[in-house]
A and B are shown apart, each in its own frame.
Chain A
Amino acid sequence: MGDNLAIAAIVLGSWATAVLGSGESDTVFSGPQMGEKLPALNVTLAYGTEARQTIDLVERAAGRPSLLVIVNGSSRPAARLTRALMNFAEMHKENLFAGVAYLADDSSGAMKQLQDAVSWWQVEPPVGVSVDGAEGPGSYGLNRNVNVTVLVASKGVVTRNFALIQPTETDAIKILSDVVALVGGRVPGIAEVLFLSVPTHKPVTAEWHVAPQDVELRRLICTSLSARDAPAARFAAHAVEKYVGDDRDRQTALAHVAAILHERRTRVRRQSIVPYVRQWKVKYKVPTEPRDSELR
């Protein structure tokens, strides 16, 4: 046992010396850094009424606090993080501009990919394909080894830069800490982030549940997920139920939420709101999704 520990210590020591001594554990840079101006970021939009139009996300931000996500290659973690950030941004759209630029060599192929993968990439803030190819605008100096570059900016100047080689939803918490510092509000916890990363759009034939596009309901659910004790949960649940009332669409949306919160990956297991989620599931009943055969 003692020998094994000694060997492990030697191996670990050698590894640490090799890694730290090599100096290759540098900070990863991608995009404009803190204090630098945001150059133009032109994208061709993929969704909404402006689809196929080219806009400059920075111009559209018009100096407002901004959250820009630049995605270099589609990946499930990148999509989850992007959805969490954009769905949060939508809840603060009065004070915050947000947008997504997708990088690709083949812009028409990327556009088709985005339009096919609505459950991955469609969010309310503008999402588009960069007109500057796989490396984006040269003035951004994006690192092609980085999967997701997140820029937080105010008055057209970067206040925080995140270069994420292997993004995860948990990165959203530190990113949103900087966003909240700019626009106010509350930094979401991990349960909220996981809830916010759930798609809000899906193909019509899909049989799974989507998170509500109703921003107020989303905000109330986030509040209830942040409830730290039973009284706070009761208060939050009451606010949710009051908002839903007799509105059938809201009831359906809440039923979907209840189903989502019971899914394993949202990690809502010990939160104070769990008893209320169970009640909602029973009270509003998860609607039966139409099957492909029925749609045909």
Chain B
Amino acid sequence: MGLLQNLVCSMVPWQFAWTGLISCACLVLLPVTSGAADPPVTAIAFAPDGESVVLASQAGLSVHDWPDLNTVRQLSTTIVNIHDMEFSPDGGSLAVAGGTPAESGKAQIFAWPDGTSSCELQGHDDSVLAIAWKDDSSIATASLDHDIVVWDVTTRQPSERLKGHSRGVSDLCFLNGYDLLVSSGLDQNLRVWKTESGKVIRTLNNHTKEVYGLALRPATLGIPMIASVSNDRTVRLWQPTIGRMVRFAQLNAIPLAAAWLADGSQVAVAATDGYVRLIDPDTVEVLETIPAVSGWAYSLAVHPGDGSLLVGGRSGQLKRIIIESSRR
């Protein structure tokens, strides 16, 4: 304790509250323009240069400066319900995914930083819940229609359709050095796919309820590690290249999103109780429990430069949490 500085951004102007004073230092940042009628922040993506952050919600896409979080501009999108966003490896594109439940799911790619729409990828019968770049010209989308589609962005055509999950696919993660794709599903499973052949090579079935999200540990020595969050109130750590569940942390709330600190020393988890928990991957101890937003904390991202966390919640709530460098 005492190593964490907690910077609070109470989003609603008239609720400019001091909350989450759990550590030695705390200060309030500027509020994001928001109100009680604002929809939840469903996805957060930091620009590669760390100068800005893109927020997604049913209200659309907005770009904010960092760390003040002032709205810089809106991006016009044709996607009505956005569930996920990711910048391309070269930082030149932003992919956004979502759709209309039980009707269609699609992705839209924007040139970055100018924010112009460069293409749309349509090929799902239900909402797209997750999107992940394989490389600068190839991207995968995961949908509630049970399928994963790998797209060639240059031709805008699907190059592969991966079928294996028996329910919706909630998240994706490429292990590029291993030619593997890991997916998580509402069917309680993680599946490991060989990207070259499109075949499932491994099913990891230790979760006992729906799996909501994945987070790949930043490059560390040894076997790659992925964290998964599930409705069974656990965060499980996996080595998908060998099919091992290494260990798990049991929580007293349902985790909704996970992100690793930049050095891979801890995994941060946002949960339905509005708290963010920092978990030590070696001991699976919850090191810190940080109040972040009121209600569900839907989204979470780690700033590529300063390592602070940005948490998104209902009514457009956002909270920035600074992790001291000694903890990173």
Q: Which residues of A contact B (CB under 8 A)?
A: 21-24, 26-27, 29, 33, 39, 135, 138-141, 143-145
The answer to whether A26 touches B202 (Cβ under 8 A) is: yes
> Which of B201, B242, B247, B249 has the largest count of A CB atoms less than 10 A from its CB?
B247
- State the B residues within 8 Å of A (CB): 194, 199-203, 205-206, 208, 234, 237, 242-250, 283-284
The answer to whether B242 and A23 touch across the interface, beta carbons within 8 angstroms, is: no
CB of A138 within 8 A of CB of B247, answer yes
Closest to A144 in B: B206
Contacts A23-B202, A24-B201, A24-B202 known; A141 to B243 CB distance under 8 Å? Answer: no
10 smallest CB-CB distances across A and B, nearest first, come from A23-B201, A29-B244, A141-B247, A138-B248, A26-B243, A138-B284, A141-B246, A139-B247, A141-B245, A139-B284
B227 CB → nearest A CB, Å: 13
Is A27 within 8 A of B242, CB to CB?
A: yes
Contact of A29 among B205, B245, B249 (CB under 8 A): B245
Cβ–Cβ contact B247 & A26, under 8 A: no
Smallest distance from the beta carbon of A212 to chain B beta carbons, Å? 41
Tell me how far the C-beta of A132 lies from the nearest C-beta in chain B, rounded to whole angstroms. Answer: 8
Q: Out of A29, A33, A39, A141, which one reaches B248, CB within 8 Å?
A: A141
Query: With A and B bound together, what is the CA distance between A148 and B245 in angstroms?
Result: 16
Which listed residue (B194, B205, B208, B234) contacts A138, Cβ 8 A?
Answer: B234
Q: Once the chains are docked, how many angstroms separate the CA of A39 from the CA of B250?
A: 16
26 contacts between A and B (CB under 8 A): A21-B199, A22-B201, A23-B199, A23-B201, A24-B201, A26-B202, A26-B242, A26-B243, A27-B243, A29-B242, A29-B244, A29-B245, A138-B248, A138-B250, A138-B284, A139-B247, A139-B284, A140-B247, A141-B237, A141-B245, A141-B246, A141-B247, A141-B248, A143-B206, A143-B245, A145-B206
| B21 → A minimal CB distance (Å) | 29
**In the complex, what residues of A have CB within 8 A of residue B203's CB?**
24
Query: What residues of B have a CB within 8 angstroms of the CB of A144 in the complex?
Result: 206, 208
10 additional contacts (CB under 8 A) given A23-B201, A26-B202, A33-B244 = A23-B194, A23-B202, A24-B201, A29-B242, A29-B244, A138-B249, A138-B250, A141-B245, A141-B248, A145-B205
- On chain B, the residues within 8 Å of A21 by CB distance are 199
Select from chain B the residue with minimum beta-carbon distance to A140: B247
Q: List chain A residues, Cβ under 8 A from B200.
A: 22
Query: Which residues of the other chain, A, contact B206 by a CB distance below 8 angstroms?
Result: 143-145
CB contacts (< 8 Å) of B284 on chain A: these are 138-139
When C-beta atoms are compared, the residue in chain A nearest to B247 turns out to be A141
Across the interface, which residues of B come within 8 angstroms of A23, CB to CB?
Answer: 194, 199, 201-202
Nearest opposing residue in chain A for B203, CB measure: A24
Q: How far is the CA of A36 from the CA of B95 in the complex (A)?
A: 40
B201, B203, B237 interface centre (most CB from chain A within 10 Å): B201
* A-chain residues with CB within 8 Å of residue B208 when the two chains form the complex: 144
Closest chain B residue, CB of each to CB of A33: B244
Cβ contacts under 8 Å, A135 to chain B: 248
- Please, which residue of chain A has its CB at the minimum distance from the CB of B251? A138
Expressed in whole angstroms, the Cα–Cα distance for A29 and B234 within the complex equals 19
Q: Which residues of A contact B242 (CB under 8 A)?
A: 26-27, 29
- In the complex, which residues of chain A have a beta carbon less than 8 angstroms from the beta carbon of B244? 29, 33, 141
Q: Which residue of chain B has the shortest Cβ distance to A141 in the bound complex?
A: B247
Question: Which B residues lie within 8 Å of A145 (CB)?
Answer: 205-206
* A98–chain B nearest beta-carbon distance, Å: 24
Residues of A within 8 A of B201 (CB): 22-24
Q: Residue of B at shortest CB range from A134?
A: B208
A214 to B242: give the CA distance in the assembly, Å.
45
- Once bound together, how far apart are the Cα atoms of A144 and B234, in whole Å? 14
A33 to B223, CA, bound (A): 13
Cβ of B220 to closest chain A Cβ, rounded Å: 16
- Least CB distance, B245 to chain A, in whole angstroms: 5
Rounded to whole Å, the gap between the CB of B281 and the closest CB of chain A is 10
Q: Known interface pairs A138-B284, A139-B283, A145-B205. Does A22 touch B199 (Cβ–Cβ under 8 Å)?
A: yes
Given contacts A139-B284, A145-B205, are A29 and B243 in contact (CB under 8 A)? yes
- Measured CB to CB, the closest approach of chain A to B232, in angstroms, equals 10
